Amino acid sequence: MSIKNNIQLFSDSLQGACRLVAVSKVQPIEKLHEAYEAGQRIFGENKVQEMEQKYHVLPKDIEWHMIGHLQTNKVKYIAPFVSLIHSVDSVKLLDEINKQGKKANQIIPCLLQIYIANEETKFGFSEEEALNLLTDYPSFSNVQIVGLMGMATFTDNQEQIRNEFKVLKKLFERLKAMNLPPQVVMKELSMGMSADYKIAVEEGSTLIRVGSALFGERNYPNKI
């Protein structure tokens, strides 16, 4: 299957209900070009430097989404052009995004990453932390919270994955029904990757983040 075919298959099956973030981390520029030529306009990266390099050489109508853990000292490099940060996992990071948004004269759309997996290593807010943050929300002028992001446990257990997505969707609906500050709008729910995007779409995802199912396996250059 070519990248072009894959993009076509995704756009046929998603039919606008949910958008595809093409996760292009580690992939060479030629593959991004191929996806772009097939009509793909949203690309997801997890490393600041790599995203910056790709941004500079690819067409300017691409939406660049940061999907990986973001260090506060690196926000400044992407603030001028990033379209959505999926992986906001602390108030400290949000504060820095606001600061850099101000400097770059941008209002930066962000998702709160919610910890839904049954694993020790995942980043994100707990449900309670997210609720507390949004009920007592600091006045960040240059950040707009537009939804939530979550990653399910890395497991073959489909029911567990589905349940974790349900938990995230429920929190999303609960927050949506709340009296939120004007800089917070619950409209995007980023969940689902190559292995579990079908379940995620069934459970109400609006943004799936798909890498290997689109581009093929990633060849990490420094892995033997």
- In the complex, the residues that contact ligand PLP under the rule CB under 6 A are 23, 25, 46, 67-68, 151, 193-195, 209-213
| Angle between the N-to-C axes of helices 29-37 and 3-14, in degrees from 0 to 180, rounded to the nearest 10 | 50
DSSP for 90-122, please give it.
-HHHHHHHHHHHHHHT--EEEEEEE--SS-SS-
Q: How far is the CB of 138 from ligand PLP (least distance, A)?
A: 26
Query: 104, exposed or middle or buried, with CB in 10 Å at 0-12, 13-18, 19+?
Result: middle
Considering beta carbons, is residue 45 or 96 the nearer one to ligand PLP? 45
- Least Å distance, CB 144 to ligand PLP, is 20
User: Nearest residue by C-beta to ligand PLP?
Assistant: 211
CB-nearer residue toward ligand PLP: 142 or 214: 214
69 neighbors 86 (Cβ within 8 angstroms) = no
Whose CA is closest to 206, among 10, 1, 20? 20
Least gap, CB of 139 to ligand PLP (angstroms): 29
**CA 168, CA 174: separation in Å to the nearest integer?**
10
CB of 152 to ligand PLP, least distance (A): 11
Can you read off the two tokens belonging to residue 204?
């109400």
Whose structure tokens read 């983040």?
209
Which spans in the chain are helix H? 3-14, 29-37, 48-57, 75-78, 91-104, 127-135, 158-176, 197-202, 212-215
CB closer to ligand PLP out of 61 and 217: 217
Amino acid at position 4, single letter: K
Work out how close the CB of 103 gets to ligand PLP at its nearest, in angstroms, rounded to a whole number: 26
Q: How far is the CB of 204 from ligand PLP (least distance, A)?
A: 17
Q: Which is nearer to ligand PLP, 145 or 193 (CB)?
A: 193
CB closer to ligand PLP out of 40 and 46 = 46
Beta carbon nearer to ligand PLP, 13 or 132? 13
